[in-house]
Amino acid sequence: MRILVTGGAGFIGSHLTEGLLRAGHDVVVLDNLDPYYDVDIKRHSLGRCRDAGGDRFTFVEGSVTDEALVRSTVAEHDVEFVYHQAAQAGVRASVENPKKSHEVNTTGLLNLLEAAADAGVERFVNASSSSVYGRDEYLPYDEDHPTNPRSPYGVTKVAAEHYCTVWTDLFDLPCVNLRYFTVYGPRMRPNMAITNFVSRCLNGEPPVVYGDGEQTRDFTYVDDVVEANLDLLETDAADGETMNVGSTGNISITELARYVVEETGADVEVVYDEARDADARHTHADVSKAERLIGYEPTTTIREGVSQFIDWYRKNREWYEPLVIGS
């Protein structure tokens, strides 16, 4: 199958691209290599994709906001399936620059939906986020929980989901929204909490927790997310649906930080700093809908995943370690 992965040089997108290539598909990656974080990490990820796919891998440098480029990429490569992973990521980044988040996450999505519908694409999978939920009225979140985002980023993800639903209903483009819950693993963005904790501990510095540390997160290992996406190649049971993609549980940020200290063997204590605005207090996914529709079964617990990440980090520090510890 000929597949387009937008944002395929990024963390989740590159892992998904590798998985698709190893499964024998032809993959085109569209990515603008935005320097939101170290572009060398993205170039390293692209190298992994080239190694996995050879001639079946194509890289197109450019943005989903470039309507003409999006249309030509879809048409010239006879794209049959779209995985839309590209986004202006980051809750706090969206507070600082909401217009950029809107342009990339909403206008960019519309460019892709129009191009995909016109080209007769078989299925369009949109990467959404647990940020759509915002304030928790109950936990775990199921897909019927109200969407009350606390950030411009969350608003753009809600809008994207609605656009996908409309394109399914009005333009005969089967769309699926996958709501990711804090994905982590090798090559993740260096400003994520787990990377930050590991970086500081391995450099003899204490991990910094923002707020009281009692906030909780449902951390999802990237391999589980890739499996959920690959499952959508085999079934149309989820067309027109929105599903949570989470893990096997959640953990407090303080507990996470202490576990990283223990696993790295660092002689440090967790320290606390002022809470950051727009962050959700708790996240926890009910994944029963994804289990029912596509057979989704997360297999990696947070402790298993963090241990795997620490091992990977130690082996890849030379090219991956953040330039500024604690940034």
Which residues carry out catalysis? 153
Q: Give which of 62, 5, 70 is closest to 31, Cα–Cα.
A: 62
Q: Are 173 and 167 in contact (CB under 8 A)?
A: yes
In sign, the C-alpha dihedral spanning 128, 132, 134, 137 is negative
Helix (H) or strand (E) holding 84: strand 81-84
Q: Are 180 and 129 in contact (CB under 8 A)?
A: yes
Q: Are 88 and 113 in contact (CB under 8 A)?
A: no
Q: Could you identify the residue written with the tokens 């400003």?
A: 191
Q: Give which of 28, 8, 126 is closest to 80, Cα–Cα.
A: 28
Q: Give which of 108, 33, 113, 106 is closest to 79, Cα–Cα.
A: 113
CA gap 63, 76 in Å, rounded = 16
Q: Which two tokens stand for residue 23?
A: 């499964």
281-320 b/e (C-beta count within 10 Å ≥ 16 → b): ebbbbbbebbeebbebebebebeebbebbbeebeeeeeeb
Alpha helices in the chain (DSSP H): 11-22, 39-53, 67-76, 91-96, 98-102, 108-119, 152-171, 193-202, 222-231, 253-264, 288-294, 302-320
